[in-house]
Amino acid sequence: MQNSNLLRLFEDLLITSTDTQRIELLERIHIELSSISSSIQFEQVHQHIPWSHLFDLLHSNTNNEIERRLCAIIEYFINNLSIEQIMTHFYPLLNTGLDNLTALSQRGKLLCLKAFEKLAHCSTIEGFFIIQNLFQHSQINALLHLFLDSDQQTLWLKSKDILEQMIQAVSRVDDTLIFQNYLRDQYFHESNRQILLSSNQRNEIVKLRLHEYLIDLCLIDPRIYQHITEEQHLLDQFLYDCTHTDNDILYLMNCLELLTALTQKPHTLAYLQNKTNVIDHYLHLLVSSNDNSGLYDLVKPGFIKFFGCYLRNYLVLLETNLPSNQPNQLLERFLPFLFDILIQSDPEAYIIIGLGKTFVFIN
């Protein structure tokens, strides 16, 4: 019987001591697994597999070929088992797999991330309780370290995706108290908050990666935005950078792009509206005529895009929320600047076209 043969191979792996024999057994196991075509068979087999031994072997092994084959076998089960089964049998891997103390290789950490990824993408309401039990502050801390410290793009991108998918699953919970407690005690635990406040200790690429992540979280749910901005003040450094990096053109362009993302949702748009120092700083920077550097020509399209999106989305918001007799203070502030831009700016086509579209939308 096929399953009996497969289980016998796993038993032989337990008592094998040489790398050559292990490689041979792992290859035979891989062949047997590749012939399984149904999830039911995987479910029958996984109950009898010595998972703790496999995870111990993954941690202690130093042979690259053994690690490659072993990870491929475990990945077969990750892809074919249910979330509950992964939670039950893979807990030792999930609990410590990303911890730097376990010294797992890049391949081993990627395997762990694939298991986390499947759990984080759970779309049912039960997904929150899975996340609540598994993604404690220590696991989130390990994901944040991997996201910000890893030079491997595959690792940090997967870490970021898991962190965002996890919080999306949590945001589906209607009970505000449970939601807020999880944010405070786990996701934004003090140890995690310190990591999120460490942007000044990182190079510009990683700093922007961190700012983008926080802004993406703000766009997911108003409650997350409120926690990030009002309770944890995690965007303060980004806003400071927006007004103190004028000499770094590339960094300024990235800041503009991230600010443009904040115009997408009503709650983040209102947040920007209250940051008048940032808005006014960029308006003055845009209309300034004393800059002789041609490098600012690279930034002007970013300014036009940002202010265009800002005004467009704000006007859409006004149509549904502002009484007809209430003065539009935003436009009263913006219109003089818009006319100044038309009068003072060089007559590049993209400026005239961009501002023209803005005026058309206003009218």
What is the per-residue pLDDT across 282-339, written as a single tens digit (0 to 9) for each? 888 877 744 555 666 788 888 888 888 888 888 787 777 655 444 455 556 666 656 5
pLDDT band at 68 (very low <50, low <70, confident <90, very high): very high
Within 13 Å of residue 300, how many CA atoms lie on the same side as its CB? 22
- Of 86 and 65, the one with more pLDDT: 65
The pTM of this model reads 0.83
Separation CA 215–CA 239 (nearest Å)? 11
pLDDT over threshold 60, residue 248: yes
Q: What is the pLDDT of residue 303?
A: 86
- Give the three-class secondary structure for 35: coil
Q: What is the pLDDT of residue 344?
A: 52
- Centre a 10 Å sphere on the Cβ of residue 194 and count the other Cβ atoms it contains: 11
Q: What is the pLDDT of residue 162?
A: 92
Residue 48 DSSP one-character state: T
Separation CA 287–CA 210 (nearest Å)? 30
Q: What is the pLDDT of residue 345?
A: 52
> pLDDT tens digit string along 120-161?
877 665 666 777 777 889 889 999 999 998 788 888 999 999
- Give the three-class secondary structure for 21: helix
Q: What is the pLDDT of residue 124?
A: 60
Asked if 155 and 146 touch (Cβ cutoff 8 Å), the reply is yes
- Of 135 and 232, the one with more pLDDT: 232
Vertex 178: Cα angle to 177 and 179 (nearest 5): 90
Q: What is the pLDDT of residue 211?
A: 96
Torsions phi, psi for 290 (to 5 deg): -100, 10
Q: What is the pLDDT of residue 310?
A: 86
In order, the DSSP letters of 243-260 are HH-TT-HHHHHHHHHHHH
pLDDT band at 105 (very low <50, low <70, confident <90, very high): confident
**Long-range contact set of residues 120-126: C-beta below 8 Å, sequence gap at least 24:** 120/161, 120/162, 120/165, 120/166, 120/169, 121/165, 122/83, 122/169, 123/169, 125/172, 125/173
Rg of the chain, C-alpha, whole Å: 26
- Compute the mean pLDDT over every residue in the chain, rounded to the nearest whole number: 82
- Of 25 and 121, the one with more pLDDT: 25
- Lowest average pLDDT, out of 50-54, 76-80, 127-131, 259-263, goes to 127-131
What percent of the chain stands above pLDDT 70? 82
Q: What is the pLDDT of residue 134?
A: 75
Q: What is the pLDDT of residue 285?
A: 81
pLDDT band at 187 (very low <50, low <70, confident <90, very high): very high
Mean pLDDT of 13-23: 91
pLDDT over threshold 80, residue 212: yes
Per the listing, tokens 């337990």 go with: 14
Q: What is the pLDDT of residue 238?
A: 95
Mean pLDDT of 39-65: 88
